[in-house]
A and B are shown apart, each in its own frame.
Chain A
Amino acid sequence: MPAAKDFLDTQQAFRLLLQALSHPGEICLLSPRDPRLGLPLMLQTLLDHEVSFAVIGPERDSYAGLVKNWTRSRVTEVRAADFIIVTRGSSEGEIEKAKRGTLEYPDQGATIIYLVDSLSREDQNGLRVKLRGPGVKNEIQAIITGLAADEILRLQEINLEFPLGVDCFFIDQMGQVMGMPRSSLPEVK
């Protein structure tokens, strides 16, 4: 499935990802053409043969094959990966192995991409996540369905030693994206 027809698709996708990461908790629509293209487009924008990735969750191998095809990126272990894709809203603790960078080079911390069911402002059923921190005016709330509640607690813990930590994107089945950098202070309601 060729998500990025040309450089303009990845250029636009990058701007949306940048928008999402500079406004944590806000929901941005990544692929207006076709919701199914959201994930491949995002990966083609960020990954290539210069970086590595790992997959956590069911269907690990088939996802790894797809991602390799889309991006020509290298598969590796979770603890060495630049990008980690969590396919079912929970890493079951695996995420604790992710790279967090060093004090001299915290940017070497991994980027985690969570595939979730939906992101919204109003949905009654999902996980209510409140964010504060850079990029957020006062406080913002997002509702995520298909994400385990303890996953946010885990991320909270991982990012406790800022600037060490990991940065997250959540992408839902509609191709909507939400960012949560390590500088964000999340709270589960």
Chain B
Amino acid sequence: MRFSEWLHEHGQAKKSRDYNFAFINEAAKREIRRKILKAVAIPGYQVPFASPELPIARGWGTGGLQITLSLIGPEDILKVIDQGCDGSVNAVNIKKFVGQVTGVSTTTDTRRATIIQTRHRIPEEAMTRDQILVLQVPFPEALRTVEPSEAETRRMHGEADYSQMWLYLYEDIVKFGEISIGARYPVTVNGRYIMDPSPIPRWDLPRLHLAETLFLFGAGREKRIYAIPPHTRVEPLEFEDVPFRVENFRGKACRRCGSRTTFLDEIIDEASGNRTYLCSDTSHCDKLLAQQDEQGDCACK
């Protein structure tokens, strides 16, 4: 038998210009799926994986995409956000790509989505047990700030030797009066692993704690997958006398919907130089606005 015939018989000879459902070939998906399961089984531990290339650049959400593409089926409804916004160019680009290679329907409504892929935010609305949040991760290693070598950080995680990290935080407080880490604030998962929650603001961390939803984290370039299962303890690193705090938006409200309970983007007005604020989660902001319209009551005056 000739090799080409053998290929054909084994059903692998596809037309070279066709792309597979969800782009990644099935064997590579299987590898990613195996690793996702291990990530769920060891909450907060970074599972190395082979991370195939995608037509979107490394650093632009490939880790999240690899997870999404390995999860997704025709029945799913996908939402993609970047900086909390469905309409931002990167989110649109990713949504378009997944749409092209799967044909799934998409939504901006957090409640309707079955899979939400996000960069830098967790949606404001509470998610349910039937949804999965996929987070894009640039730096999976929370300890990288204190130790550049992967072999060494592996050892530290293995032995739960986190003294360097605590020392770093302590020195930070000595220098700045509080821990100076803005976003990407390290957490302890299930009382065991210190984990990088991806560059979400501290505002979003409480939503990881004892949640209904499964959180999957993908770092494509660094080739790591990790997870927080539902109902899992997620605690920001803090000292008894210097407690963790989220970003302070006291006295500020969204210019559009009037919300005082959401993470806000600071906007500088070109003409006056004044600062105003807008919800970072745009679809939630739209919802609040629509509710007010129905009630005939506008909070923004």
Contacts and interface: CB of A to CB of B under 8 A. Distances in A.
A133 B29 CA distance: 28
Interface in A114-172: 133-137, 162-163, 167
Interface residues of A, number: 35
Contacts of A11: 22, 71-73
Interface in B43-83: 43, 45, 47-48, 70-74
Contact of B42 (A10, A17, A137, A182): A182
B166 to A, nearest CB: 20
Nearest to A82: B34
B31 to A, nearest CB: 7
Given A134-B43, A134-B229, A137-B231, A50 B31 contact: yes
A181 interface: yes
Query: Counting chain B CB atoms within 10 Å of each CB, which of A22, A23, A103, A136 scores highest?
Result: A22
Interface stretch (B154-162, B200-208, B268-276): B154-162
Nearest to B233: A134
A22 B30 contact: no
Contacts of B71: 11, 14-15, 18
B36 interface: yes
Contact of A111 (B37, B72, B129, B192): B37
A103 B230 CA distance: 24
A18 B73 contact: no
Contacts of B21: 7-8
A18 B26 contact: no
A105 B35 CA distance: 12
B35 A107 contact: yes
A18 B36 contact: yes
A15 B37 CA distance: 10
B190 interface: yes
B27 A183 contact: no
B28 to A, nearest CB: 10
Contacts of B37: 17-18, 21, 46, 111, 167
Contacts of A136: 231
A45 B158 contact: no
Given A7-B21, A46-B30, A21 B158 contact: no
B38 interface: yes
B107 interface: no
Contacts of B158: 102-104, 106, 163
A104 B154 contact: yes
A11 B36 CA distance: 13
Interface in B174-214: 190, 192-193, 214
7 contacts: A7-B21, A7-B29, A106-B158, A107-B39, A163-B192, A167-B41, A183-B41
Q: Which 3 A-B pairs have the closest CB atoms?
A: A103-B158, A181-B41, A107-B38
Interface of B: 20-22, 26-27, 29-31, 33-43, 45, 47-48, 70-74, 129, 154-155, 157-159, 190, 192-193, 214, 227, 229-232
